[in-house]
Amino acid sequence: MSEQQINNPLHGVTLEQIVESLVDLYGWIELGQRVDINCFRNDPSVKSSLKFLRKTPWARKKVEDLYLSTKRDAQGN
């Protein structure tokens, strides 16, 4: 395993797991407020969100950053 992957906090976590975790934590409405993208606001689903996020790097980065910050907050860091 490369040094870069060992230090990558997202290593081994799928985008689907990230989206489902955030939906469980915040719900679609609050998630759409925290990350202002239409796939979370208009008729949201995990499937449609994944399709959009896989094609849109800037939106995926926002979602991954929110996921990482919630994990840090949960750990008390």
Sequence-ordered list of residues with C-beta below 8 angstroms from that of 69, at least 6 positions apart, any chain: none
Whole-number pLDDT of residue 66: 97
What is this structure's pTM? Answer: 0.86
Q: Enumerate the domain spans of the chain.
A: 14-75
Fold of domain 14-75: 1.10.720
Spatial separation of the C-alpha atoms in residues 18 and 23, rounded to whole Å: 9
Whole-number pLDDT of residue 51: 96
Ordered mean pLDDT values, 10 residues apiece, the chain (77 residues): 68 95 96 95 95 96 96 76
Whole-number pLDDT of residue 68: 95
Whole-number pLDDT of residue 4: 57
